[in-house]
Amino acid sequence: MDSGAPCAGAEGRAMYRQGDVLIVPVADEAVPSHVPDAPKEPRDARGRLVLALGEVTGHAHAVVGRGELVREPGPFGPFLLHLPDGGRVVHEEHAAIALPRGWYRVVRQREYVPGSVRLVAD
């Protein structure tokens, strides 16, 4: 679902997909206790929070507006995104997605190759 339209998750809460990025709401009480004080990912030169950068095109899935992005341990993330006022996810080749305020887990799609797991090239 590339349109940015929400789709229903397991608990009936909206999930969002933009290309190879899945954005899943996280209840406030489910956010790990270390996350609010964890180091935040920096914004890019354009002032955006980059969720995923296309290796081929250089295009980015990015959040514009107020918010914080925290990388969880592990080789591929995932990220936890906090949008205190809501926000928009933009990309040069996809429709923008409006997200309500709250916490989100940001997961990149992976592809399976026998013997390894790698991120999908965007």
What is the predicted pLDDT for the residue at 77?
62
Q: Of 14, 26, 51, whose CA–CA distance to 103 is shortest? A: 26
| Residue from 24, 23, 2 nearest 11 by CA | 24
Residues 65-89: pLDDT tens digits? 899 999 887 655 678 999 999 999 9
Q: What is the mean pLDDT of residues 81-99?
A: 93
Residues making up the chain, counted from first to last: 122
- Give yes or no for residue 119 having a pLDDT over 70: no
Question: What would the two tokens of residue 120 be?
Answer: 């999908």
- Residue pair 101/86 in contact by the 8 Å Cβ criterion: yes
The pLDDT value recorded for residue 7 is 54
Cβ atoms of residues 88 and 97 within 8 Å: yes
Euclidean distance between CA atoms 70 and 80, whole angstroms = 5
Delimit the domains of the chain by residue range: 7-119
**pLDDT tens for residues 15-69?**
998 888 899 999 999 998 888 888 999 999 999 999 988 777 778 989 988 999 9
CA 50 to the chain's CA centroid: 8
For residue 1, the model assigns a pLDDT of 41
Output the pLDDT for position 9.
Answer: 47
- In the prediction, which pLDDT does 90 show? 93
Cα distances from 75 to residues 2, 29, 63, 108, 110, in angstroms, run: 25, 25, 22, 12, 12
**By three-state DSSP, how is residue 35 classified?**
helix
